[in-house]
Structure formats: structure tokens, C-alpha cells
Amino acid sequence: MSLTAKRVSELATHVAGRVLGDGDVSIFRVAGLDSAGEGEIAYVEEERLFADASKTRASCVITPVGADVRVPCRIEVKNPKLAFALMAEVLHPPKQRRPETHHTAVIAPDAKIGDAVFIGAFVCIGENAIVGNRTQIRAGAKIGDHVRIGNDCVIHPNVFVEDGVSIGNGVILHAGVVIGADGFGYVRGEMGYHKFPQIGTVVIEDDVELGANTCVDRAALGRTRIGRGTKLDNMVHVGHNCDIGERVVIAAQTGISGSVTIEDDCVIGGQVGFGDHIRVQSGAIIGSKAGILPGKIVRPGVWWGIPIQPLDEYKRLNAHISRLPHVRQELKELTERVKMLENELRQNEE
Amino acid sequence: MSLTAKRVSELATHVAGRVLGDGDVSIFRVAGLDSAGEGEIAYVEEERLFADASKTRASCVITPVGADVRVPCRIEVKNPKLAFALMAEVLHPPKQRRPETHHTAVIAPDAKIGDAVFIGAFVCIGENAIVGNRTQIRAGAKIGDHVRIGNDCVIHPNVFVEDGVSIGNGVILHAGVVIGADGFGYVRGEMGYHKFPQIGTVVIEDDVELGANTCVDRAALGRTRIGRGTKLDNMVHVGHNCDIGERVVIAAQTGISGSVTIEDDCVIGGQVGFGDHIRVQSGAIIGSKAGILPGKIVRPGVWWGIPIQPLDEYKRLNAHISRLPHVRQELKELTERVKMLENELRQNEE
Amino acid sequence: MSLTAKRVSELATHVAGRVLGDGDVSIFRVAGLDSAGEGEIAYVEEERLFADASKTRASCVITPVGADVRVPCRIEVKNPKLAFALMAEVLHPPKQRRPETHHTAVIAPDAKIGDAVFIGAFVCIGENAIVGNRTQIRAGAKIGDHVRIGNDCVIHPNVFVEDGVSIGNGVILHAGVVIGADGFGYVRGEMGYHKFPQIGTVVIEDDVELGANTCVDRAALGRTRIGRGTKLDNMVHVGHNCDIGERVVIAAQTGISGSVTIEDDCVIGGQVGFGDHIRVQSGAIIGSKAGILPGKIVRPGVWWGIPIQPLDEYKRLNAHISRLPHVRQELKELTERVKMLENELRQNEE
């Protein structure tokens, strides 16, 4: 991990914050409020934690503007957590590997490799592939033929990128990611299944990050797309011909069937399941473990459950379900009262 | 991607179709109706799309018999989608890699390697392993000792096949597949867990395809089996001692506990969870995200939900649940009416 | 697979059992009751299987004390399944690979490698890494800088262990495991998402086993921990900063969000989903496919459903739900009776 010291005043400038205290203090690392010590900067956002924050041993604390946090040195900003993340980018830049091509790497003679590229041991790079400047391709990654990878990417160990896939700038692919394997499509014939052609491609746009062991299948025909700035967690499945927009966040183990469109700025929980041909409109939020039926259009709002419902409906129905024993009891009592009424009426008549 | 031109008449013959138009037109690729252009063939199945199909710029369209699709050249068949898939097999055969063994591959001296085999960079093949003719083992795949792999298989990059596993002909293992890792079985002792022996094997029959990062565990004792022509999507988990029949289709991220039997011709959705010792009878269809309790026998039919129910029961219960607020309202109103009756009766009596 | 013959008497001594029959019989393998033959030992636990067990062709059967199993040779013990597992450890020890370092392995000059270590082909070991005695690092595994691995571990093919991770003694990492990839944490800025720092580490304690393609993310700040003797199945996701205790068992495809604590001796089913900041108290059992809301404290007991409920409540509610059609029917009939009462009363009044 890098140790690039910065002065508090430099860090404050970087996030447009205001220093209250000694701006010359040196900061080496970000840390949590509890564990932080000398040379470390922490942050606090919620008022209920201000008293605790006042006891921290961090050399500096990032706080909301006007926060009652009593420490010798703090930086006031509008969004402390964001400022903390931005400072971490400065103090802990992604590991820079010395540009080199390991002698064991197998690179096609006609592959075009940019400047200052790191290529680790046992890497393969296929025919006519293009790798941009400052990109790191770590040990054991396999890059197919005709693949294009942009600048400043990090391809972690044992990733596989199949032939013809296109990857933008600043993309991070964590270990074990598979991009461009055949989509799952078959046509039943008399003797069994025939593969529906899986001859399309995958486009991963700039600043995408894919978690470990995540799989993005190639399109049957056309392309599968992951839009700019979108982040996928570990073991997410993206089927053939999906179109995932920009700045979408998808948590771990979610599965997306073929031909699903997720528009910009959606947030998808973990272990969600999408049937095929769904369209999720921009800004929708889908809770973890939700299930969405094929062909559904999901409007903006917060959605939950199997099949998905608006969150407040889901909660109301769940409340109704939990009151079911009570409903049965009420019904039983009411039946008893009706029986008494019937008896009474019968007696009156006699 | 290959470019093997075929004439329309040749393609029609291949699928037993009838040409209406110029059979000498050259076709290079399959494509979607919308995007297809010169030299490409598309298909249409549903009547509601016939008008659109008439506007395609594809050089040929595959249609149902007697379809009102007005294009200069079309092929009539009984099953257009199947014909399209069969033509794609001809026009886009799986990538044929030049038979060679990369100089970096590490192959046990007593391994038996067939004819016209491709072995990529950084491949390992263990002692006494057998690899059939025309099989491709791509970069970084690791094949254990005593493994048997048939003819015409494609083992994609970074696959791992553990010792003793048997793989048939025409099998496709996508990147990151793991076959033959220990099953998950422990016995609790006083100090913690002891491994239940995991010393069985795995048999993958002919024409099986396993999606990226899918895992098939070895049997504890005996064998785990994936039957002929069965297709698994990405990140499916198959536990120890499972017996999956022929022509079974299983969508992504489904998990199958130990000792589950799935008979021939079943269709299983994505993210389904199976408890152990379940038997799914031939022809059953299980919807995505379903959950099946251990030991259950699943009869033919369509099943849904957690725990699974016949689809129509599931729908009926879901309708009942969504009417719960209404039921409570009815109950409330009825209680009010009973109260009025009681009051009235009391007044009458006074 | 090894063939280390033991005499029945030796095996009995190993598990503190009593031999009934010829203690000199040689045993080569464990096997199932049905398939076992000469030289093999099987076990039986349930009384209903005693008659079947009497027909086995196994050379020896492990039975409960006093069991009516009529075979020429058996061993009586308190816990036959545990005894069977302990004997399997003796008869089928994990494959011992001849200590060697494959000439293709790339090992940093300052890495410290213990005695009798096996290092397979295409392995990478990073700067300043430490590997304990008798540990096996199989083909294609990648070990980062500053990683510590204890004694007697087995790191299967294509595993990736990121920089700085610490692994205890006797740990088994199955193929495709990824330890120490960045956690999934972002802060939304005006232009999109910024990475929340992911600069913590992962600690895997002694005797942990992780299934194929399982992922354990590094902590944002601090550490992610998997406690001693804990077993995870295939494709489990463990998020950043989780603290999993000792002797915890987690079945396949379960996903654990960030900052979840699971205390000692919990049992977690497959495909369970955990929101963040949950605490599961020691001894809790959570059924497969359960979903747990963020921040929840799960007390000891058996839990089920989405969101989780105590198992008996879950069953009761499910019974209520399945009776819903009946409730509606009752309500309808009661409404009819009330209407008749109203009519009658009205007639009486007239």
C-alpha cells in the first residue's frame, strides 16, 4: 500500500473544504474513526457520532460544515464521505506496477500494446488485440483475438476476455471475470438442443468496474453493453444482449437474463433475478432478492419482492400477511356472533 | 468469425426448406431482422412481425410455410428458428484452432493426446490423462491426472478439471468452469468438522455445455453425472452425487444440493434452489427463483414459488394474497353489520 | 487415489470402536453400503437400514453399539458416520504431491518458502510472501505480495490471493477462489461514483475450507475474517469487513453483504442473502434462500423465509396463506348469513 503523505491543507483544497486547525499536519492514510491514529484522517457524517468523533486520535477529521466536533484539526465539507473517498484516491492510488512485459507472457506479434503497460506472467494476448496506455494486465489473464482494451485499465489475475470484446478506459475487471462467453440460447430439435448462434459481441464502456468471478455473455446477434461508470459486484451474471446503462450499481450474485435493458442511474440489490426482455427505467431502485417477470417494464421508484411490487405495497401486503392469524381469529369470533344472532332470532320466532 | 459463404439453395437443402426467389444468392452470415443487410439471412416466426419482415434488407428471410412475407428471397420451413440455428452452425462453425501444442504447455509424458488437438499456452495435462481427437484445450486450462476427455470438445481458458473426471464427446466447458472439486460434506465431531470423504468422481456425457464459472462437484462416494445433451448456464452449482439426466436445461445461478436427481428433458429456471435428495421427474418445468425442500419428488408439470407449488395454484394463492386488504375491509364491514344487528335485536328485546 | 491398506483392528482403535469379527481383515477403501465389496468398509446409522446392511458385501461395517446388523465383521462405535469420516482420513489422505517447485513457477526472490512445499506449473508468488511447510500451491494459482500462507494448506488451481492477505494452517482453497479483491463500496458524486477506499485486508484462520469460485473481499478499512474451522461451499460471496466466526458452515451461493458478523457455530443454508451490518448470534441456523434485512440481529434458533422469521412462525404463516381460499369462502358464506339475518329482521319489523 502506498504512503504518499499530503498536508491537511492540500487535502482540503482537493475537496474544496475549509481547514479548522493546523493545515501543515501530514496525513499518510485514511482510516476509520475508531482505529485512526497519528498521520491518519477519518470522517464523520452523522450528528449522533459527533461526540465519539471528538475522542478520535486521528490527526484530522472530515466533518459536515458547522459540526460540533472538538478536535485539534478538522476539514469542513458538504459531503464528508465523498471527500474521504476523494482523499483516499490521492493517498492510496491504485497500485502502480512498473511498466514491463513479463518474459513468460505470450503476445501475438500483431497485437498493439500501448505505452507504460504492465503485462504479468502467463498472460496471453491474442491476434490483432489492442491494449491502451498505462493499462495493467495481471498474471494469468487471457485476452482473446481482436479485443480492444482502453487506457488505464486494471485487468486482475485469471480474467478471461473472449475474442472481439471492446473495453473502454479506466475499466477494472476483478479476478476471475469472464467477458464474452457464449450466451445461453438453444432451439429444441427432434434429437435435442441446437445452439442459437452466439456471434455478437460485448462492449464495456469507460470507468466500469466488475467484481470477482462476474460473467458478461456476448450477444447472440448484436452486442451486450455495460454503460459508462457502471459498477457490478462479485458473481453477477449478465446474459446475452443486455443493455446496462450508465452509473448503474448492481450488487453481488444478481442474475440478468437475455435482452434486459437497465437504463441509467438504476440501483439493483444483490441476488435479484431478471427474466428476459425486461426494461428497467432510469432511476429505479430494486431491492435485494427481488424477482422480475419476463417482459416487465419497471418504472422509476423503489421495488421489492417476488414478483416485484412498489416497496410500500410490498410492506402493506407483508403486514396483512403477518396479521393473517388475527384475521382468522376475527372471522371465527364473528361467525360465533352470527350463530348467536341466528339462534336468538329463531327463539324469538318460536 | 468465419466467413463461409453458402448459396440460399444450399442452406435451404440443409434444413429441408423450400426457396421462393433466387437460390443462387450468396449468404455470409446470420443476422437479426432489423440489422440484417446484404449477404445476411434472418428469420421471422410470429405473424405479427410479417409486415416488419417485409421491410428487412436481409438477402434472404426464413419464414413459416405460407407466410405473407414480401421479400425477393425467402426460405419456407416448418420451424424457422430451428432452421436459423442450423444454418448458423454451417455459416459460423465454432472457431477451429490450428492443431498445435503450445510450447509452454506442461503435459505429462504418459498422457495420451489424440489427433488434430489444440493445446494452448499455459495448459497443464496430468498423468495418464486422455484427450480425444480435434479437442481444443485453451490457454490456462488445467486437466488433472487420469482425466478422460472425448473428441471434439472445447475447453475454454482457465477451466479446471480435477483428477479422475470423465468427459464425453462434443462437450463445451466455458471459461472458469470447475469440475470435480470436493463436495460439501462434513461430520461434526467434538472439536469441529471432519470432512466426509469426497472420493467419488464426475461423469460429463456427450454434447453437454457448461456456462462460465459453473461448478460440478465430485461425488462423495460413487459419481456425479451430467447427462447427454444437457445445457447449464453460467455459475450453476451442482453438488456431490447429483444425477442430471439428458437434454436438461438449467439457467444461471441455480444451485443443486447433494444427491439430487433431475430426470431427462426437464427445464429449470435461474436462481432455483434445490435441497438435497430431491427427484425431479422427466419433463418437469421449474420456474426461476423457485425453492424445493429436501427429499421432495417433483412430478411432471410446471412448478413455481418457495416452496414450489403447481403454477396455477401459485397464481391463485398470489391473487388471494393481493386481495388481502380487500378481505380485511370486507371483514370490518361485516363486523359493523353484525354489531348493528346485535344492537337492533337488543332494542327489539327491550 | 491412495491405497493404504489398514487392518480392521487398526481402524477400530483409531475411532475407539469395538471389533466384532476378524480384526485382521484388510481394508483399502471406504464405500457406500450398496456398492461396497471386498476390502471396503461401509457404515450404517439408522435402524431401518440394518436389514439392508446385513446384505452388504463390504468386508466390514461400522454400526451403532448393539445394532442388529448380521455381518461377519463389524465395528461398533457411538457415531458411525463420524467414525467413517475419520477412517476415510486415514485410508484416503489428501493427495500428497512430491515436494518440488515447477520450473515454470515465478517466485519473487524475497518470498520465503517453507519445507516440503509443492509449487505447481504457472504459479506466481509475490514479493515478501511467506508459504508454510508442506503447503501445496497447485498449477496456475496466483499469490500476491506480502501474503502469508501457513503450513499444510492446499491451494487448488487458478486460485487468486491478493496482496497482504493472511491464511492460517490447514486451509483448503478450491479452484477459482478469489480472496482479497476490492469490496463493493462507492460514494456518489456529481459525475458518478467514486470508489470508497478498499485498503483493508483479509484473515483466513486455520482449518478453513472455501468452495470453488467463492469470493472473500478485502475490508474497506480494517479486515475481513473467516474464523477457524469454518467451511464455505461453492460460489459464496463474503463482502468487505465481514467477521465470520469459528466452525460456521455456509452452503453454496449464499451472499453476505459488507460488515456482517456471524458468530461461532452458526449453520447457514444455500442462496441465503444478508443485508449489511447484520449480526447472527452464536448457534443460529438460517434456512436456505432466506433473506435478512440490513442491521438485523439474529438470535439463536432456526430461521426461515424472506424476511426471516422463526421457523415455526414461518410454517404457521404459510399454513395460513395456503388456507386463504378457504377464508374467503368462509367470509362469503358468513356475509350471506348476515344478509339473511338482516332481511329476516327487516321482515319482522314490518
pLDDT tens-digit profile of B148-190? 999 999 999 999 999 999 999 999 999 999 999 999 999 999 8
Q: Using one digit for the tens of pLDDT, what is the confidence trace for B62-97? A: 999 999 999 999 999 999 999 999 999 999 988 989
Domain assignment present for A153: yes
Q: Is residue A148 located within the same domain as residue A254? A: yes
Q: Give the CATH number of the domain where residue C27 resides.
A: 3.40.1390.10
Which residue in chain B is spatially nearest to A309 when comparing CA positions?
B322
Statement to judge: residues C302 and C331 lie in one domain: no
Task: Note whether B213 contacts C235, CB cutoff 8 Å.
Answer: yes
SS (H, E, C) A111-143: CEECCCCEECCCCEECCCCEECCCCEECCCCEE
pTM: 0.96
Lookup: cell for A200:
455478437
A328 and A338 fall within a common domain: yes
Q: A162 in contact with B at a CB cutoff of 8 Å?
A: yes
Res. C1: pLDDT tops 50: no
Are A117 and A72 contained in the same domain?
Answer: no
Final residue in a domain of this structure, among C69, C91, C113: C91
Q: What is the C-alpha separation between A36 and C221, in angstroms, rounded?
A: 10
| Cα separation, A100 vs A94, whole angstroms | 17
* In a domain? residue C233: yes
pLDDT digits (tens, 9 = 90+) for C199-250: 999 999 999 999 999 999 999 999 999 999 999 999 999 999 999 999 999 9
Against chain B, the chains showing at least 3 CB pairs within 8 Å are A, C
Q: Grid coordinates in use for B325?
A: 386488504
- pLDDT at residue number B3: 60
Interface contact B253, partner C, CB < 8 A: yes
pLDDT of residue A348: 77
CA B171 from chain center: how many Å?
13
pLDDT value, residue A350: 67
Q: What is the pLDDT of residues C78-99, one digit of tens each?
A: 999 999 999 999 999 889 899 9
Q: Which residues of B218-239 are buried (b: 16+ CB within 10 A; e: fewer)?
A: bbbbbbbbbbbbbbbbbbbbbb
Whether the predicted pLDDT of C286 surpasses 70: yes
> Which residue, A91, A109, A135, sits at the end of a domain?
A91
Give the pLDDT score at B191.
87
Which residue of chain A is at minimal alpha-carbon distance from B339? A337
In this structure, is residue A1 part of a structural domain?
A: no
Residue C82 with chain B: CB contacts under 8 Å: 187-189, 194
Domain endpoint, select from B91, B118, B145: B91
Q: B289, B166, B184, B145: which is closest to C214 by C-alpha?
A: B184
- Supply the pLDDT for residue B1: 42
Residue B287 and residue B162 share a domain: yes
**pLDDT at C348 > cutoff 80:** no
Please tell me the predicted confidence (pLDDT) of residue A1.
42
- Same domain, yes or no: B213 and B265: yes
B324 and B289 in a single domain? The answer is: no
Do B121 and B85 lie in a common domain?
no
The H or E element spanning position B187 is strand B186-188
**What was the pLDDT predicted at B4?**
76
Minimal Cβ distance to C251: which of B184, B217, B321: B184
- How many domains does one find in chain A? 3
Q: Tell me the per-residue pLDDT of C95-148, one tens digit each, with 9 for 90 and over.
A: 989 999 999 999 999 999 999 999 999 999 999 999 999 999 999 999 999 999
Residue B1, in any domain of the structure: no
- Residue written as grid cell 487415489: C1
- What are A43's three cell numbers? 470522517
Q: Residue A324: give the domain boundaries.
A: 312-350
**Could you tell me if B68 and B117 lie in one domain?**
no
**Which ranges of chain A have pLDDT less than 70?**
1-3, 350
Please provide residue C326's backbone torsions phi and psi, each rounded to the nearest 5 degrees: -65, -40
Inter-chain CB proximity C192 and A229 less than 8 Å: yes
Q: What is the pLDDT of residue C350?
A: 67
> Can you tell me whether residue B189 is helix, strand or coil?
coil
Judge if B339 and B208 occupy the same domain. Answer: no
For residue A221, give the nearest of B31, B158, B324 by CB distance: B31
Same domain, B104 and B216: yes
**C122: Cβ contacts below 8 Å, ≥ 6 apart:** A121, A122, A140, B106, B122, B124, B140, C102, C104, C105, C139, C140
Q: Measured between CB atoms, which of B182, B271, B306 is closest to C174? A: B182
In a domain? residue C1: no
Is-catalytic flag, C277?
no
CATH number at residue C186: 2.160.10.10
**Looking at the predicted structure, is the pLDDT value of residue B349 above 80?**
no
- Among chain A residues, CA nearest to B324: A320
What DSSP letter does each residue of A229-287 carry, written as one string? T-EE-TT-EE-TT-EE-TT-EE-TT-EE-TT-EE-TT-EE-TT-EE-TT-EEPTT-EE-
**Based on the domain organization, do B299 and B332 belong to the same domain?**
no
> Whole-number mean pLDDT of chain B?
95
